[in-house]
Structure 1
């Protein structure tokens, strides 16, 4: 690949944990110069979120901070604030996920910065929006947004999703909004303020569940590993494991019955079309489940493949990351860290002109690039003697 799409753009990143770093990971992979501003002496909390650790650094931190530079600043000191403001003056966009009000108290709020730098795109991620000071971590927001009410078995307790979806989704939406604001800025020469709430990110993703609620006035019930409006669409046991089968239309259903040698099932009035199959879901699961239980996973998947019906095994991460298809798609990135040795991480989802993300820089040590960045700004970190005299 030639120049990456965001080559020449600078992002100043005041975030930690996951929502913000996941946003800036995407921008960094696309070529932006992401400068990660970390608390002096402490850094991003996730550097210590373990085990597991690689050396003395948490795998959690390493997973989302490649292709970034780290600068340590004490934002409560005059020098730290001066350096931060000068750094922001060189940026196309700034992102922070402090609790609302913190940026203003530090003298780095969006109104203050955009008054100084009108073309700046400034993004704030919070749990519940700029007007709420409630802290919001992923699991809390999964509960308040309704997601946990949809996750789990029908007769069991609510569950969070295995992936921290509130963090990941808000990071993705933040990156999308930043890019859109930068496009508009190049047209209008005006910056923007982006207020992005994790709660809003998850509510916006309720899609057909919300549609069902608005149509009926009834909240969607939990369906476990099955679909609320399609059948059969979910997880079924086989003789040696489990598979997901996703029938999206009546033609697929009839083809699946033929491939599984179950013609009577396709002709059963209870299962002729999707509406009937949803209404008789339990009977369908009982009959189809018994047939699948007598076959191996390999046989069921081969039958579904012949029928052109989406289906797949349920794999663990070891199986996923050793799958040749995963590797061939560039979804396992490997790089050498000068202190921690060989590291691997998931790749980016995009391919542009056939190319995808690479590790240009391994995740930085705390403050690894402080001297370089201060030099770029024409600043020199005060000595201990100077600080003491002050």
Structure 2
């Protein structure tokens, strides 16, 4: 597929599987790059090809999970333990700009595909490497485990409930974004001095860097953050979810005293901001358990549409608690659907490019995620 997008002359080799690395590969594909996904025929390719819902056909080499981050790529079958296949990879690397890898520390060296090996064939090669826990820890870094060890699982869940994993592979997503940033910086560096780069990201470090205020609540204030459900440790009522009169769920995010007064005015609780327990954010944080049932009772008397309209007028942050079908009925959700063609049929996927900069940056069309070994002549 021809492209005039910003990276239409860029060639990317993907030696990565699951989510983090492949999301970076799709990002470059959406910007017009040629992305060649190398898959091992002995293992059935990327393991996520088999990660299927019960409703998906068991005899297909495609899954909804795989298609979430593999659009726009070619699939080439290479068993890198075989010398002839390794030589084929080396030939591909000679004309490549970027390699994306997700090997455990030491595994790329054993296979002969580490940065030092591959830059011998392309001195200005940019090599992006995702690990679970960094170069010094030889552990499989699946997202759920990293969520646990980086503190996210402990923080997630209801106050009196057990710790919970988040419903998406968030540390994979975060590491993918970190690697995109590193690779884009490496491309700028190469434009300036012609040199390649080795860019490494670990899921653990990407997760820890994303703890932001929860981390500094400990590092600065000396407080170990605890589970609060969807509520915020520093602001109240922020992240609270209430059921409305028509049995819908609505979240609010009150970030200032002015917004709190406006909220109370709409809920006909006009005396509430005058009470010393709720006058300021600091007092509301201390008395959040006292405030919650008062707001719950008031929300239960008003329909969601009426509340949303009033909150919009008063500039109070709010959000309907949408299901996935409702998400993709919103204008923003519709804009993030990536439509691809396979055998003349439209397939819906998810965009990895979420920014807007102008015309000609993103490819006008992206191929569907590839069948296993679909592009053996790439």
Aligned to 2:9: 8
**Correspondence 1:282-301 to 2 at 5 A:** 282-301=289-308
The one-character-per-residue Cα deviations of 1:276-310 (angstroms, maximum 9, x if unpaired) are: 11111111112112111221222222221121011
**Correspondence 1:305-316 to 2 at 5 A:** 305-316=312-323
Measure, in 2, the Cα distance between the counterparts of 1:228 and 1:270. 17
With the length of structure 1 as denominator, give the TM-score of the two structures: 0.90
**Stretch deviating more after TM superposition (235-244 or 14-23):** 235-244
Q: CA deviation at 1:344?
A: 0.7
Aligned to 2:348: 344
Aligned to 1:380: none
232, 235, 239: which one aligns with 2:237: 232
Secondary structure at the aligned position of 2:128 is classed as: strand
1:35 aligns with 2:14: no
Measure, in 2, the Cα distance between the counterparts of 1:96 and 1:108. 9
**Correspondence 1:192-211 to 2 at 5 A:** 192-211=197-216
Aligned to 2:280: 273
Measure, in 2, the Cα distance between the counterparts of 1:334 and 1:133. 39
Aligned to 2:259: 252
Q: Any conservation in 2 of the 1:174–1:196 contact (CA below 8 Å)?
A: yes
Aligned to 1:17: 18
**Stretch deviating more after TM superposition (232-241 or 89-98):** 232-241
Aligned to 1:161: 166
Aligned to 1:364: 370
Measure, in 2, the Cα distance between the counterparts of 1:90 and 1:364. 21
**Correspondence 1:71-220 to 2 at 5 A:** 71-220=76-225
Aligned length: 368
Q: CA deviation at 1:357?
A: 6.1
Runs of 4+ in 1 over 6 A off after TM superposition: none
Secondary structure at the aligned position of 1:17 is classed as: coil
With the length of structure 2 as denominator, give the TM-score of the two structures: 0.93
Q: CA deviation at 1:343?
A: 1.3
1:322 aligns with 2:329: yes
Measure, in 1, the Cα distance between the counterparts of 2:148 and 2:228. 17
Q: CA deviation at 1:18?
A: 0.9
Name the structure with the higher helix share: 1
Q: Any conservation in 2 of the 1:100–1:132 contact (CA below 8 Å)?
A: yes
